[in-house]
């Protein structure tokens, strides 16, 4: 028996392919390196550490883009825990870009604060590594551990301003809701494991948490009730992560209270990771699609309607962005549903995610330079005349919001258009109708933001003392690095809108 066990273990160990996950290993080492640097560098030179974090990630990103665009070796590794696919490689690049950008945002918003700041960058790097492992996972254990690594990191990042009651309250809300959704996901996994490991049923397997084995089991037993409940619970847990109805209640509160850089990371990376795993799981659950498709369609409809109509009445900028993110999750869900019938739709979902990333980067990049940036009370009126005070930031905000809204020459328009084409090809006409209503409604609140940036808000001028908006101007902290970062998002949003060729080919869609 011991030799048998030893043989099994050594066979499994032979499938370990550490070269496959080198970006995640480098991210982890970089995160630890930052903490070491904090100890050994003298206090006055701590400002260089965030720059090292950004530089390290840029080098990694450059290496992947130049030498390893499609993933060095596709395939299953680590005893079936991980499967590297083209989609996972694309998402790896996505998470890296988002993480570099979030590091920049954090660098700017921590400029005038007395806080422990190095940990923020270290945790951001760890979360990024965990999210891209999550996108590669091919086994429920891997999925759960990667998901929890990221989620626990997010608890810390959301409540990072620990002197600020709002940030802490947002942290607590995220903690309770996040732990609740993890538990629901976990119970779903337990039921699926239990159903698929039952020796009395056909195609059952000892290692039934592996996605391939689970798929084989579901194909043979597509009416198993325990597995069906398990699937619904797993989808519910994921729906929470992407902020889909009815698990979206946490989104506005947490987005508002969290530091701006954390809001950006939550809005972009966390959501994309949720969709990465949803794309994988929809394939695994394909034999149950008689239940899965109506379930996801209903969720998508309600998500789009809720996100857009709830955003109409908001005055707080971060809440508007949060609720618009909810409706984006609805649009992406349409793409995920359509992917069952239209194979290119997966690539179109990825394109939409990139458009969403660039648009959000432009918006968050200009918001962080407002005088009240880190404040949870940032209202639409506080934008007051941004375009006149700083033309570059005003332009960036307009292009970003325009891209999120889907105004024609920008990337967001192409993203929405492709998803609608996918929905049309998959004959999801009802969903398409709801989505178009959603887009029309969304124009109203998106233009509220643009209006805030271009028109001065009339105020009583009777208080003599200088208000913060007179002492600090938007864009005071805007350096060449900031112009470069925001400029990248701007150019990306515009170029991807008119010319998608090479990127589209890379995503594998056309």
Among residues 283, 421, 301, the alpha carbon closest in space to that of 352 is found at: 421
The DSSP output letter for 84 is E
Please state the closest distance from residue 238 (CB atom) to other proteins, in A.
16
User: Among residues 294, 250, 267, 308, which one has the least CA distance to residue 443?
Assistant: 308
DSSP result, 458-477: P------SPPHHHHS-TTTT
Find the shortest distance in angstroms from Cβ 307 to other proteins: 15
Judged by CB, which is closer to other proteins: 41, or 179?
179
Q: Which CB atom, from 12 or from 70, has the smaller least distance to other proteins?
A: 12
Assess contact for 304 and 331: CB atoms under 8 A: yes
N-to-C CA span, the chain: 53
Handedness of CA 330, 334, 339, 344 (dihedral sign): negative
Whether the CB-CB separation of 191 and 227 falls below 8 Å is answered with yes
Cβ 237 to other proteins shortest distance, Å = 12
What tokens does 203 get? 């195609």
Which distant-in-sequence residues (6+ apart) come within 8 Å of 503 by Cβ?
351, 354, 496
The residue (of 315 and 388) whose beta carbon lies closer to other proteins is 315
- Cβ-based neighbours of 492, under 8 Å, separated by 6 or more: 358, 361, 411
Query: Which residue lies nearer to other proteins by CB, 97 or 239?
Result: 239
Task: Return residues touching other proteins (CB under 8 A).
Answer: 140-141, 144-145, 148, 152, 155-156, 159, 162-163, 165-166, 168-173, 175-176, 179-180, 183-184, 186-187, 189-191, 193-194, 197-199, 204, 206-209, 252-253, 256-257, 314-316, 319, 376
Shortest distance (Å) from residue 236 CB to other proteins: 11
Q: How far is the CB of 443 from other proteins (least distance, A)?
A: 21
Residues 412 and 494 sit within 8 Å (Cβ to Cβ): no
Residue whose C-alpha is closest to residue 326's, from 383, 289, 271: 271
Q: CB 151 → other proteins: shortest distance, Å?
A: 8
Residues 216 and 362: their CA atoms lie apart, in Å, by 44
Q: How far is the CB of 2 from other proteins (least distance, A)?
A: 15
Nearest residue (CB) to other proteins, 206 versus 471: 206
Least distance in Å: CB of 391 to other proteins? 31
Q: What 3-state DSSP class applies to 456?
A: coil
* Token pair for 71: 């993933």
Three-state DSSP class for residue 359: helix
Residue nearer to other proteins on the CB measure, 120 or 140: 140
Residue number with CB closer to other proteins (444 or 510): 444
Q: 124 vs 346, which CB is nearer to other proteins?
A: 124
Cα gap 108→318, rounded to integer Å: 18
DSSP codes of every residue in 63-75:
HHHHH-TT-SS-E
Q: Give, as one character, the DSSP assignment of residue 270.
A: I
CB 239 → other proteins: shortest distance, Å?
16
Q: Is the dihedral of CA 427, 428, 430, 435 positive or negative?
A: negative
Nearer of residues 367 and 431 to other proteins, judged by Cβ = 367
The CB-of-312 to other proteins minimum distance in angstroms stands at: 12
Q: Which is nearer to other proteins, 142 or 362 (CB)?
A: 142
């Amino acid at each position: 028996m011991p030799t048998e066990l030893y043989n099994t273990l050594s066979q499994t160990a032979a499938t370990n392919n550490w070269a496959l996950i080198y970006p995640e290993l480098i991210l982890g080492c970089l995160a630890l390196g930052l903490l070491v640097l904090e100890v050994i560098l003298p206090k006055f030179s701590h400002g260089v550490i965030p720059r090292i974090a950004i530089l390290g990630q840029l080098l990694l990103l450059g290496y992947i883009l130049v030498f390893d665009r499609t993933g060095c070796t596709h395939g299953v590794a680590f005893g079936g825990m991980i499967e590297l696919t083209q989609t996972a490689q694309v998402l790896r690049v996505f998470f890296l870009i988002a993480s570099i950008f979030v590091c920049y945002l954090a660098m700017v918003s921590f400029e005038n604060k007395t806080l422990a700041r190095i940990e923020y960058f270290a945790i951001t790097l760890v979360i990024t590594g965990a999210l891209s492992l999550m996108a590669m996972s091919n086994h429920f254990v891997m999925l759960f551990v990667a998901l929890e690594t990221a989620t626990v990191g997010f608890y810390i990042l959301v409540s990072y301003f620990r002197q600020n009651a709002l940030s802490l309250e947002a942290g607590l809300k995220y903690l309770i809701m996040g732990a609740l959704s993890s538990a629901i996901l976990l119970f779903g996994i337990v039921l699926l494991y239990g159903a698929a490991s039952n020796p009395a049923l056909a195609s059952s397997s000892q290692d039934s948490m592996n996605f391939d084995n689970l798929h084989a089991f579901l194909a043979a037993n597509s009416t198993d009730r325990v597995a069906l409940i398990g699937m619904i619970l797993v989808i519910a847990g994921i729906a929470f992560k992407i902020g889909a109805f009815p698990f979206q209640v946490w989104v506005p509160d947490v987005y508002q209270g969290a530091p701006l850089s954390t809001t950006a990371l939550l809005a972009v990376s966390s959501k994309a990771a949720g969709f990465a795993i949803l794309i994988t799981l929809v394939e695994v659950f394909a034999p149950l699609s008689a239940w899965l498709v109506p379930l996801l369609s209903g969720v998508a409809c309600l998500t789009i309607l809720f996100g857009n109509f709830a955003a109409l009445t908001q005055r707080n900028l971060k809440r508007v962005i949060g609720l618009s993110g909810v409706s984006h999750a609805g649009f992406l869900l349409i793409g995920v549903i359509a992917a069952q019938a239209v194979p290119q739709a997966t690539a179109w979902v990825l394109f939409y995610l990139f458009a969403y990333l660039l648009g959000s980067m432009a918006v968050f990049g200009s918001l962080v330079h407002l005088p009240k940036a880190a404040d949870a009370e940032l209202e639409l009126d506080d934008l007051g005349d941004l375009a006149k005070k700083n033309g570059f930031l005003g332009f960036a905000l307009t292009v970003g919001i325009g891209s999120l809204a889907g105004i024609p020459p920008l990337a967001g328009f192409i993203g929405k258009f492709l998803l609608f084409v996918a929905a049309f090809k998959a004959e999801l006409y009802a969903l398409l109708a709801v989505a178009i209503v959603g887009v029309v409604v969304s124009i109203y609140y998106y233009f509220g933001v643009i209006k805030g940036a271009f028109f001065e808000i009339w105020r009583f001028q009777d208080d003599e003392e200088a208000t913060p908006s007179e002492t600090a101007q938007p864009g005071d902290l805007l350096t060449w690095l900031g112009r470069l970062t925001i400029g990248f998002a701007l150019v990306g949003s515009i170029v991807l809108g008119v010319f998608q060729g090479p990127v589209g080919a890379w995503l594998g869609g056309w």
